[in-house]
Structure 1
Amino acid sequence: MPRRPDRPAAPGPRAETVVRRIDPAAHARLVGLARRHRGTLFMVLHAALALVLRRAGAGDDIAIGAPVAARTAGVPDDLIGFFVNLVVLRTDLSGDPTGAELLARVRHGDIAAFAHQDVPFETVVADLNPARAPGRHPLVDVVLALQNNARAELRLPGVRSRVEVVRTGAARFELLVDVTDEHGPAGEPAGIALTIEYQAEVFDPAVPQWLADALLRVLDALAARPQDRLSALDELVDPPAAPVEAAVPASPVPGRRPYLGPRTELERRLAATWAEVLGVDRVGVHDDFFVLGGNSLRAVRVAARIAATERRRLTTTQIFATPTVAGLAEALAAAPSRAEPGIPRLPRIPRVRSAPTVGEE
């Protein structure tokens, strides 16, 4: 996606939204398209979003995240808790398939991915071990969520209630396409609410607005002409203007340099902490923390241990920014030392004798 050339290296979470609506008639056509191709509304939305991202320059191999409730057979229905997991859906748009062929690919890929939705996302990230960058999700930039659960209803005598969505104003992903599927009293399609939430420091407002309008046009074309090839569907929308990207350095490619052992006492202490947390025999000063098997949870453990032993402030953001012993040692050496924290003494509360009760002398 075309990102702002002046975006910071670690964008903040401030979010903006773009809202569009799909009328009940168009909603019904999309549901009919899904049924004719043995799919679901989510799969139709997934195919259309992948096509729009391709038009924006994302290529023919696109990964989109999808949150799932993760309440499968292994989780009791009456167990209270938050089990949501993120599944990465990979989409192949190569070869100029028809819309119907793309739907078949998406259906096959989604079913295969959802069959493994119980695998924790942290496990997937640890096994794939992608290059990390501050402020960036490790595997996906775009997430598609379909809110199609039964609406919660609060029924009280003499009280009318309704569900109202309240946005936090903070974006967890660069782009979240949040879709709400609405139905009438008899279950008939009653329209779709489409909300695109995006990181304001990453995208100019014109880009998510373009994506919202392009998504509506592609959905309408897929429902009307699924036999058209993607090259014909591409002609429905002009690609967004791409800003110059020279101001933003490319993400580093993970790799291991020749082993070089610690050279100072500080580097030796840091390397020993890393080796203990990561469960490895040795750590070189140029070894990448995440290539060795580190993740965000282990980064928290390392930051806490180093901050306690070195008496210097250390955050996980610093580990993401300088994921080597040499780089971290240099940053810590330049950081001011903080005093040993003492145990705060609580103010002494004087004992107050209560008033005598009846019969007490």
Structure 2
Amino acid sequence: VREGDLGAFAHADVPFERLVEVLNPARSQARNPLFQVMLSFQSARQTALQLGDLTVAGIDTGAVAAKFDLQLTMVEQFDDSGAPAGMAATFTYATDLFDESTVASMATRFERILAAVVADRSTILGDVDILDSVERSLVLEGWNDTARVVSGVSVLDGFDAQVAATPGAVAVSFEGQSLSYAEFDARVNRFARYLVSVGVGPESLVGV
């Protein structure tokens, strides 16, 4: 990553338009031709030019246009003495893809990640909890609550009974192809034997 970044910085003076021209990616009016999400870090201070009694400096016009689907801009802040005074973050987004509440939730989660890393530099990003208590309850205890009680009959028992009762009936249909219960059962058994052959046993977790 370091070598790749340094190589990119070594060519930072190449105009973006020239880069697009050379790479010549497939054009689309629906998205940026090279990437859709950008993180930008601005560390340079805003300069001002003093001409006698006249001070010339750049100002923020307030006009914002989203050039990408989503952009996060981080800007260093300085106080009057020139000392670092934190950072400001701004999200710019395409309103036909995101609404304000969605981007606000992204900002909140990003803030949680930053707070966790600042508190403990050894924190692994994958271990940072980005859900609040309400979201965790909704997602983990609500939407993902798959516990069911079916009078002592398991899903597998019910499926086996259906295979025995109607082996020729259609069990699954997708994109113009169909499998009968007998065909589906045969595929399930083949897949089960394969899992056993690679060491999967009782209580093993398998993503399907």
Looking at secondary structure, tell me which structure has more strand per residue.
2
1:8-51 per-residue CA deviation (whole Å, 9 max, x = no partner) reads xxxxxxxxxxxxxxxxxxxxxxxxxxxxxxxxxxxxxxxxxxxx
Seen in structure 2, the aligned counterparts of structure 1 residues 113 and 158 have a Cα distance that, compared at 3 Å, is closer
RMSD: 3.0
Of 130, 135, 142, the residue aligned with 1:236 is 130
How far is 1:191 from its partner? 2.2
Cα separation, 2, equivalents of 1:118 and 1:158: 35
Seen in structure 2, the aligned counterparts of structure 1 residues 192 and 200 have a Cα distance that, compared at 3 Å, is same
Counterpart of 2:41 in structure 1: which amino acid? L
* SS of residue matched to 1:177: strand
Cα separation, 2, equivalents of 1:137 and 1:220: 32
The correspondence of residues 187-198 of structure 1 with structure 2, limited to 5 A, is 187-198=82-93
Cα separation, 2, equivalents of 1:181 and 1:217: 19
The correspondence of residues 3-18 of structure 1 with structure 2, limited to 5 A, is none
Seen in structure 2, the aligned counterparts of structure 1 residues 192 and 230 have a Cα distance that, compared at 3 Å, is closer
How far is 1:211 from its partner? 1.9
User: Structure 1: where are the runs of 5+ without partners?
Assistant: 1-104, 240-361
Cα separation, 2, equivalents of 1:108 and 1:115: 11
Cα separation, 2, equivalents of 1:198 and 1:127: 27
For 1:180, the equivalent position in structure 2 comes to 75
For 1:205, the equivalent position in structure 2 comes to 100
For 1:148, the equivalent position in structure 2 comes to 43
User: Structure 2: where are the runs of 5+ without partners?
Assistant: 136-208
Counterpart of 1:230 in structure 2: which amino acid? L
Structure (1 or 2) with the larger CA radius of gyration:
2
How far is 1:151 from its partner? 1.9
Cα separation, 1, equivalents of 2:26 and 2:107: 30
How far is 1:152 from its partner? 2.2
Report the identity percentage: 35
* SS of residue matched to 1:176: strand
Deviates more, 1:148-157 or 1:195-204: 148-157
Counterpart of 2:117 in structure 1: which amino acid? L
Asked which structure has the greater RCO (Cα within 8 Å, sep 6+), the reply is 1
Cα separation, 2, equivalents of 1:114 and 1:160: 33
How far is 1:203 from its partner? 0.8
How far is 1:132 from its partner? 2.4
How far is 1:186 from its partner? 4.4
The correspondence of residues 1-361 of structure 1 with structure 2, limited to 5 A, is 105=1, 107-155=2-50, 163-233=58-128, 235-237=129-131
Counterpart of 2:29 in structure 1: which amino acid? P
For 2:148, the equivalent position in structure 1 comes to none
